[in-house]
Amino acid sequence: MAVNLLGRSFLTLLDFTPEEITYLLDLADDLKRLKRAGIKPRNLEGKSIALIFEKSSTRTRCSFVVAAVDEGAHPEYLGKGDIQLGKKETVKDTARVLGRIFDGIEFRGFEHSTVEDLAKYASVPVWNGLTDKFHPTQLLADLMTIREHFGKLKGISFAYAGDGRNNMANSIMVACAKMGMDCRIVAPESLQPEADLVKTCNKIAEETGGNITITSNVKEGVKGAQVLYTDVWASMGEEDKMQERINLLKDYQVNMEMVKATGVKDLIFLHCLPAFHNYDTELSAKVGPMEVTDEVFESDFSKVFDEAENRLHTIKAVMVATLGTK
């Protein structure tokens, strides 16, 4: 049956079949080609899109804005301090108001239940631009980048080293399970994913031929990995945990020793960004490289900027597929 995602919200990849995910990736490839050729198909002509951001963003915000404008839509940025949400107005009321005014709503914030409630009450597609639990648009860009590099997803070995309980680790497990990949979450025991989600992902992986391994053993976890991935050690909202995380995760840094331990010659390094890889930002000046060394970040096998560009094409694909007019 032909895939049709019109009218659907995009909250987590758990809600999408492997065929639907592949459809979004194929569409993103097409949209990337068209953009490179200078063609703007304007699939969202006349639409208006609300972009709610409770947390900061560079890639996600810019991708939604540029994708909307490329396709002929009007994006409206609604920052934390700009709207009544959470202060004078409930999520349910805000959802019903914005749903009358806008054709689609992006939400980035803390509670995953907020994006779920927006989707429940807005009557228009709602897209998750990151919550504490999941970051599904990031995973589409990651899968797109892996496919560009290896030509496939099924069977690819993917090792994520770092905070195994955060939105990225959760989303990576789901995406790998859905696409039949060999996923390793390499994290100390106190930072390993919740058992319920691991169970769900294992069930999915049984059907797709994928595999999920959770381990605190770095050498075993990364052996044979074709994709090495990491994320910040303290996510947005957890800044006070920084020192505790440095202590817990210092042996999980992606460095050349870890790269060598994979034993894989043509591996790629990915990171959702922003990354602590040098001393060059206000924050990293105090702590230095954390989750990845500058050597790995700046290496030829680091594909982090292809990955960052692919945020634009995949976010555009999500909006076009769920809201497009053509």
231 binding partner (options ligand CP, ligand NVA, none; Cβ < 5 to 8 Å by kind):
ligand NVA
Residue 65 contacts by C-beta under 8 Å, 6 or more apart in sequence? 51, 75, 77
d(CA 192, CA 195): 9
Q: List binders of ligand CP among 38-57 (CB under 6 A).
A: 57
Q: Which of residues 96-115 bind ligand NVA (CB under 6 A)?
A: none
Q: Is 273 in the site for ligand CP (CB under 6 A)?
A: yes
Among the listed residues 303, 17, 24, 10, the one whose alpha carbon sits nearest the alpha carbon of residue 177: 17
Residue 232 in contact with ligand NVA, rule: CB under 6 A: yes
Asked if 66 touches ligand CP (CB under 6 A), the answer is no
The C-alpha atoms of residue 68 and residue 323 are separated, in whole angstroms, by: 11
Structure tokens at 32: 């990337």
Decide whether 102 or 158 has the Cβ nearer to ligand NVA: 158
Does 266 qualify as catalytic in the annotation? no
Token digits of residue 223 = 């052996």
Enumerate the β-bridge partners of residue 76: 50
> Could you give the C-alpha distances from 102 to 33, 76, 319, in angstroms and in order?
28, 9, 13
Closest separation in Å from C-beta 201 to ligand NVA: 18
Q: Which of 164, 159, 170, 90 is nearest to 128 (CA)?
A: 170
- Could you please report the per-residue DSSP string of 101-170? H-SEEEEESS-HHHHHHHHHHHSS-EEES--SS--HHHHHHHHHHHHHHHS--TT-EEEEES-TTSHHHH
Q: Which of 135, 149, 184, 271 is catalytic?
A: 135
Based on the residue annotation, tell me whether 135 is a catalytic residue of this protein: yes
Catalytic residue flag (residue 272): yes
Taking CB within 5 to 8 Å according to partner kind, which of ligand CP, ligand NVA, none is near residue 291?
none
Closer Cβ to ligand CP, 65 or 205, answer by number: 65
With binding defined as CB under 6 A, does residue 272 bind ligand CP?
yes
262 vs 314 by CB, closer to ligand CP: 314
The contact pattern for ligand NVA, residues 152-171, with x = CB under 6 A and - = no contact, is: --------------xxx---
d(CA 24, CA 314) in angstroms, rounded, equals 7
When asked if residue 17 is in the footprint of ligand CP (CB under 6 A), the reply is no
Annotated catalytic residue 138: yes
Residues contributing to the site for ligand NVA (CB under 6 A): 130, 135, 166-168, 231-232, 235-236, 272
**What residues act catalytically?**
108, 135, 138, 231, 272, 311
